Structure 1
Amino acid sequence: MVAALLAAVSVAADPATTASAGEQGAWFSDPVVVSGQNTAEPGIEVAPDGRLYVNAPAGLLADLPGAASFLWRSDDGGATWVLTPPGLRAAFPGGGDSDVAVDPQGATVYFSDLWVGSSTAAVSDDRGNSWFASPLSGVVIHDRQWLATSGGGVVYLAYNQIPAGVMVSKSVDGGRTFVVHSLAASVLDRSGCVCPPGTMVVEEGTGPAGLADRVGVVYATSTGGVGFARSVDGGLTFAQVTVAPARDGIDTTRAFPVVANAGPGQLVAVWQEVVEGQRTRVQFSGSADWGRSWSDPQVVVDAGTPLFPWVDANGGGKVGVSLYHTDQATLPDAAPDDAVWFERYLESLDGGQTFSPLVTVDPTPVKTGPICTQGAACAQDRELLDFQAVAIDTDGLALLTWARSIDNVADTEIRFARQLTDEATTAAPTLHLHDAVGDAITRPLPWLFRTATWSPTGR
């Protein structure tokens, strides 16, 4: 696995095949509409008991005095979804960025709901049916928060605190109060970028109250790089590690970098790059020492126009990457009116050494035309907001959730699809790969085309 993570091998599939992969959509179940609620940028979490949670924002301070964001739960592997009641969350401000985390040791669900001044922190011990909530978490005046838990009631909140930089706050009472605050990465660490961080990962340590937890936050820099703030003392102190160095002509700030656990001591990360102001691509890197060092970045999606990539992984070598994608090579903001965007996916079964071509998850387009990536500065074409997401379940199957624009203006819905359970494998095609020095190799990929079925539980 260490060798796989550190190998600098990239996929060299035919760009046309890579971009136009609609015929391979049988990898996934028919899409399910999680909700017709007009929202976007859904996140997804898998609970230890197999239940699934999808969250999305309601709209900043959409209702006063409360403005609770949405949390849906599926008890049948994603076949059906219910909107969990907001309970006490509805009494407090929110509706901005939202995130959910599930305690790996039980059924406790943690929720964070941004309202700019701070974010409302909430905890449920009954799978989201009722809530304890508090309107304050973290240092006041912050943006784009992310939640993570190492278990046992230890919860971490990462966010962009204005003006200091990326802060991490910690709760040791099950997400009810956050009393430990640390600067994870300053504005200077990010080369002057006053921008939200990427996602956060944690790994449980051996000490009490999470004192030996590993905590990490990935972030973009204003000079075309990607960094990783790494803590090995439960978020008390952080060291800065370079994932991708600063580079001229590269912009890494148009989408959130994403990091994920890939087994004990192992991490994977993906991020989007705007190249010379002309096109986008997706880069991948892995770490075999929990972020102390990272493999050389490799381009995993270069054809067409990839947008808002997300990654998840497990300890068995599975790495799943989801994204919005159009076959037309352009900038998302400048895409022509006939550019058709789809939810697409690629994966690795060897820890990131090689990746499959892109496959289309849903034959129904998510949008046509331009997609604005300027955040709050967007005047239009921002109905998908800023990300979609993938999670790998305990069976090693990819679970995807994304937004679809119904009217191509403002009306949206949240969708979900599950990777199919394998039953038989047919003859495998061969994908031509390149190693770091350009020596051509071939390798059969028995997982590329499958005969499969899907059951609601995914078992």
Structure 2
Amino acid sequence: MLSPTSRVPRFRAPRSRAVPLLAAASLVGGLVAAAPALAATPDNGSVSDTSTSVQWSAGPFAAPNVTGTTGDVTCGPGLCDDFALHVTTPAGYGDTHQLTVKVGWGNAAADFDVYLLDHSGAVVASSASSSDPEVVVVPPTSGDYTVRVVPFAPLGESVTGTASLTDVPANPAPGTATPPTFSQYGAPASFARAHDAGEPSIGSSHATGSTFYQALYDTYKATWDDTVSPSKVTWTDVSATPAKGCATGGSTSLDPIGFTDARTGRVFESQLAGKTSLMCYSDDEGKTWSPSQGGGLNSGVDHQTVGGGPYSPGGIGALPTSTYPNAVYYCSQDIADANCASSHDGGVTFGPAIPMYSLLDCGGLHGHVKVAPNDGTVYVPNKSCGGNQAVAVSEDGGTTWSVRKDPASTAGDSDPSVGIGAKGTVYMGYQAADGTPRVAVSRDKGKTWTDDQNVGASLGVHNTVFPAVVAGDDDRASFAFIGSTTSGNYQDATNFKGDWHLYVSTTYDGGKSWVTVDTTPTDPVQRGSICTGGTTCGNDRNLLDFMDATVDRTGRVEVGYADGCTGACAQPGGAQNFDAYATIARQQTGNTLYAAYDALPNLTPTAMTVAKAGGLYATSATVANTGKAPASGVTARLFVDGVNVATSAPTDLAAGRSTTVAFPGVRLAKGTHAVAVVVDPDGRIRESDEGDNRRQTQVTR
């Protein structure tokens, strides 16, 4: 195992993967006598707009390329294979097309990496996950390329490669909702490890409104004053320590993770310790802590995650053994599979860990466990399951698991994330093979997926890392990610010069459309490369492997991230300083993920007159928007004795503003008449008060 360091490197095999157990013997034999691989057949090919696909094969491969484990792609006899690819496309072709390279093999336990090199030998793009097939997607720029296949765990397998010019997936138009705004809140400089906060977790207690930010050994509590705008924050270090009852607190860790049960306010902090964790929990917001078993027997050695929610009615023995109302789950990756253990006493003890999948199904690494708030279904997302992003799903309290893929997706290098709406709609945000941020929606627990789309296209985002998704009402969700508008190989520490920002994309219509904002437009989160290759990275792994997001009790989105570019780095032209500063991005304005807290207009006729001019009676009214949000397309309708007489032309009305609406004169018969003005007569506009839209008077002729 790796010793703890100030940056807490994750325990894993090089290149961000665990080596299959089946490969261990093969590695030894292969290194002793490495037979040369067969040359690619054919060894070159071309694609163009008139001949869009070419295929080749290579192998068998007997020995792993050990240089590939350090990020080097040096070839030796039998240790990789090169295919020469020539691309010819006309001007503008890349607006609607892309170059897709796929390399696959027969034995799912084997593993290969794919690198696309330009004519000078520079890496344009790579796919070095555990996926079969490995997929690279890049713009179809004319030129000469090399597709290099590097065996990571070959197991004697041959590979088949395909290079194709394919259509760029169609994308719906961006949402038209008013985008929310965010403010950034950095932890106090007095916190000793405030600048050592890579891969943070964040959670919100809906019981108290407090936010909890976990990174390394530290737990920070943030409380909010929302009577001012932007909100004010008060930070408190509430970290688990021996003096507070957590004997293992602040001592050692191979991988930190935090979880806050929104319903109960119980806060968990967990430090990886081999095939279990050193876990403590607090029921008084960090004033005191209590020890936990940490995880179940047979838990894994890496990539731990903790989550919880209601018990599944279909769970076997899924009944609480204490007064704590929710189930708690501890999931982690082992060498050849990933496992999840459940707790029925609020995380004090855990049952045995049960495999979610093996390397025959998915790559070992996975995202954060989430539990559906409506029925207790458990979801653990994975970035590479047979070439797709997927979720491991348990509908019986973690007793059995199914892997459910999004067939429209491609595998990526960052862990995906899921958010689950109030009625069970699942939103999965992920980094696609071309680096772009995409999100898909499932309304049947991952069995089928719809509305898979690129949510960064409107802002020109080409590269994405660290997806984090949360949901509130069933039709509302937010997808946070760190993105760059610079294209190219974002892990190339020498040549990638892009700036990275924190983006949040939000849907208010169940994932049919999304509106995306750059929450740090003048303050980069990182400059240059970001490595997602695990412990083989250089100093550009300062942000480590993930970030997190949560939703507070009023539906505000809060993103816990590490700011890697601070001080002089954040100034124009500043040099990257590879910081990892504990920071929260918190929603300030706009509709939240809970419709009950929406800022809404309120339309009401505040005054009304009926004046006689000649033989006609003309009506006018003052229509006011007394709410907290603008209203568009506002109309008013005149009724005389209940009969629809006239409707005003639509107009927009800002919050706090009013306008005068005049109706044409009408002829009245002798007698008394009821004259009424109704604003928004068809009920098209959602208002904070739907009961004050009418004003009426009587007129006697």
Tell me if TM exceeds 0.5.
yes
Contact 2:293 2:349 in 1 (8 A): no
How far the C-alpha of 1:298 sits from its partner, in A, is 2.0
Q: Residue in 2 aligned with 1:91? A: 248
Q: Residue in 2 aligned with 1:440? A: none
Contact 2:379 2:391 in 1 (8 A): yes
The higher-RCO structure (CA 8 Å, 6+ apart) is 1
1:221 paired to 2:384: yes
Write the mapping of 1:87-166 to structure 2, written as runs, cut at 5 A.
Answer: 87-88=241-242, 89=246, 91=248, 94-134=252-292, 136-138=294-296, 139-150=298-309, 152-163=325-336, 165-166=337-338
Q: Residue in 1 aligned with 2:527? A: 368
Q: Residue in 1 aligned with 2:171? A: 10
Q: C-alpha separation between the residues in 1 aligned to 2:555 and 2:449?
A: 24
Contact 2:439 2:454 in 1 (8 A): yes
**Corresponding letter in the other structure for 2:356:** A
Q: C-alpha separation between the residues in 1 aligned to 2:562 and 2:450?
A: 32
1:235 paired to 2:398: yes
Q: C-alpha separation between the residues in 1 aligned to 2:331 and 2:300?
A: 13
1:80 paired to 2:226: no
Write the mapping of 1:163-242 to structure 2, written as runs, cut at 5 A.
Answer: 163=336, 165-190=337-362, 193=363, 195-203=364-372, 213-221=376-384, 223-242=386-405
How far the C-alpha of 1:412 sits from its partner, in A, is 2.4
1:272 paired to 2:431: yes
Q: Residue in 2 aligned with 1:44? A: 202
How far the C-alpha of 1:196 sits from its partner, in A, is 1.4
Question: Partner of 1:221: helix, strand, or coil?
Answer: strand
Contact 1:255 1:271 in 2 (8 A): yes
Name the CA shift for 1:245/1:417 in 2 (closer, same or farther; >3 Å): closer
Instruction: Return the match for 2:581 from 395, 405, 413.
Output: 413
Stretch of structure 1 that moved more, 397-406 or 232-241: 397-406
Contact 1:10 1:354 in 2 (8 A): no
How far the C-alpha of 1:170 sits from its partner, in A, is 0.8
Write the mapping of 1:283-298 to structure 2, written as runs, cut at 5 A.
Answer: 283-295=438-450, 297-298=452-453
Name the CA shift for 1:378/1:213 in 2 (closer, same or farther; >3 Å): same
**Corresponding letter in the other structure for 2:442:** S
How far the C-alpha of 1:258 sits from its partner, in A, is 0.5
Q: Residue in 1 aligned with 2:472? A: 314
1:325 paired to 2:325: no
Question: Partner of 1:376: helix, strand, or coil?
Answer: helix
Name the CA shift for 1:355/1:204 in 2 (closer, same or farther; >3 Å): closer
Question: Partner of 1:229: helix, strand, or coil?
Answer: strand
1:125-176 deviation per Cα after TM superposition (whole angstroms, max 9, x unaligned): 211221122465232442111111125152111111223x121101112212
Question: Partner of 1:148: helix, strand, or coil?
Answer: strand
Q: C-alpha separation between the residues in 1 aligned to 2:432 and 2:252?
A: 31
Q: C-alpha separation between the residues in 2 aligned to 1:398 and 1:106?
A: 19
Contact 1:11 1:356 in 2 (8 A): no
Name the CA shift for 1:363/1:43 in 2 (closer, same or farther; >3 Å): farther
RMSD: 3.0
Q: Residue in 1 aligned with 2:547? A: 388
How far the C-alpha of 1:181 sits from its partner, in A, is 2.1
Contact 1:167 1:185 in 2 (8 A): yes
Name the CA shift for 1:204/1:235 in 2 (closer, same or farther; >3 Å): farther
Q: C-alpha separation between the residues in 2 aligned to 1:450 and 1:312?
A: 29
Contact 1:158 1:167 in 2 (8 A): yes
How far the C-alpha of 1:300 sits from its partner, in A, is 1.9
Contact 1:31 1:362 in 2 (8 A): no
1:82-108 deviation per Cα after TM superposition (whole angstroms, max 9, x unaligned): 111312445266433222223344232
Question: Partner of 1:381: helix, strand, or coil?
Answer: helix
Contact 1:27 1:450 in 2 (8 A): no
1:38-91 deviation per Cα after TM superposition (whole angstroms, max 9, x unaligned): 22122211112211111112xxxxxxxxxxx21111122671211113124452
Structure 1 unaligned residues grouped into runs of 5+? 1-7, 15-23, 58-68, 206-211, 429-445, 452-459
**Corresponding letter in the other structure for 1:73:** K
How far the C-alpha of 1:305 sits from its partner, in A, is 2.0
Contact 2:202 2:260 in 1 (8 A): no
Q: C-alpha separation between the residues in 1 aligned to 2:426 and 2:180?
A: 29
Instruction: Return the match for 1:262 from 403, 406, 421.
Output: 421
Name the CA shift for 1:236/1:204 in 2 (closer, same or farther; >3 Å): farther
Q: C-alpha separation between the residues in 2 aligned to 1:25 and 1:33?
A: 26
Structure 2 unaligned residues grouped into runs of 5+? 1-168, 226-231, 311-324, 570-575, 591-598, 600-627, 633-651, 657-701
Q: TM-score, normalised by structure 2?
A: 0.51
1:397 paired to 2:556: yes
Contact 1:10 1:353 in 2 (8 A): no
**Corresponding letter in the other structure for 1:197:** H
Q: Residue in 2 aligned with 1:456? A: none
Q: C-alpha separation between the residues in 2 aligned to 1:316 and 1:38?
A: 36
Name the CA shift for 1:361/1:31 in 2 (closer, same or farther; >3 Å): farther
Contact 1:11 1:300 in 2 (8 A): no
Q: TM-score, normalised by structure 1?
A: 0.76
Contact 2:266 2:282 in 1 (8 A): yes
Question: Partner of 2:340: helix, strand, or coil?
Answer: strand
